[in-house]
Amino acid sequence: MKKHGHCATYKVSPTYRSWQMMHRRCAGYTPVHKRLYVDRNITVCARWALFENFLEDMGERPNGHTLDRIDGDGHYKPANCHWATHEQQMQNTSQNVNLILKGETKCVAEWAKVLGIPKHRIHARLKRGYAVEEALSTGVFHHRSGRKP
């Protein structure tokens, strides 16, 4: 067992597992990770080569959280990482569509939750060419024509 107590022979802590997976993604052990991280030159800072430093900077991984990079194109380093819920992670992906309404920017999932409109409806409205204000309105739309009554 290492001195930090997070890596026993058959029992690894969630925090240690996150640290391991961060390094594996950047080393490109699998084709998917290679394409996503290595080819994009995403690296782990030198300080985090040691688990003890990672633990000191990030603290214990909270239940229900995983390691997330704030800037998805940025490196793994203290200023760019935090523990995030699955929902937060999904809102911080490059595949998200961010919409601005009245000076406020949110992804489609956030707008759907706030406005009570299904995500698929917002996406469908945008695909049909609706302006953001119309796509995010709660008005009734005809199903076939895609237009307001």
- Per-residue pLDDT tens for 31-83? 655 556 667 788 899 999 999 999 999 999 999 999 999 888 899 999 999 99
- Give a yes or no: residue 9 inside a domain: no
Query: Same domain, yes or no, for 37 and 103?
Result: no
Query: Same domain, yes or no, for 79 and 32?
Result: yes
Residue where a domain terminates, one of 61, 76, 91 = 91
- The 3-state secondary structure of the chain reads CCCCCCECCCCECHHHHHHHHHHHHHHCCCHHHHHHHHCCCCCECHHHHCHHHHHHHHCCCCCCEEEEECCCCCCECHHHEEEEEHHHHHHCCCCCCEEEECCEEEEHHHHHHHHCCCHHHHHHHHHCCCCHHHHCCCCCCCCCCCCCC
- Give a yes or no: residue 3 inside a domain: no
* Residue 99 pLDDT: 87
Sort 21 into a burial class: Cβ within 10 Å, 0-12 / 13-18 / 19+: middle
Query: Same domain, yes or no, for 19 and 77?
Result: yes
**Calpha distance 49→111 (Å, rounded):** 39
Higher local confidence (pLDDT), 7 or 144: 7
- Give a yes or no: residue 121 inside a domain: yes
Task: Taking the CA atoms of 107, 113, 114 and 120 in sequence, report the sign of the dihedral they define.
Answer: positive
Query: Same domain, yes or no, for 68 and 104?
Result: no
Higher local confidence (pLDDT), 132 or 144: 132
pLDDT band at 1 (very low <50, low <70, confident <90, very high): very low
* Residue 65 pLDDT: 95
**Calpha distance 6→17 (Å, rounded):** 9
* Mean of pLDDT values over 93-116: 83
- Please state, for a pLDDT cut of 70, what percent of the chain lies above it: 74
* Residue 149 pLDDT: 46
Query: Same domain, yes or no, for 74 and 111?
Result: no
The pTM score is: 0.62
* Residue 37 pLDDT: 66
- Give a yes or no: residue 117 inside a domain: yes
Query: Same domain, yes or no, for 85 and 113?
Result: no
How many separate domains does the chain show?
2
- Give a yes or no: residue 31 inside a domain: yes
Query: Same domain, yes or no, for 69 and 106?
Result: no
Average pLDDT of the residues of the chain: 82
- Give a yes or no: residue 142 inside a domain: no
Domain with 24, as residue range(s), is 14-91
- Give a yes or no: residue 56 inside a domain: yes
Query: Same domain, yes or no, for 57 and 123?
Result: no
- Give a yes or no: residue 43 inside a domain: yes
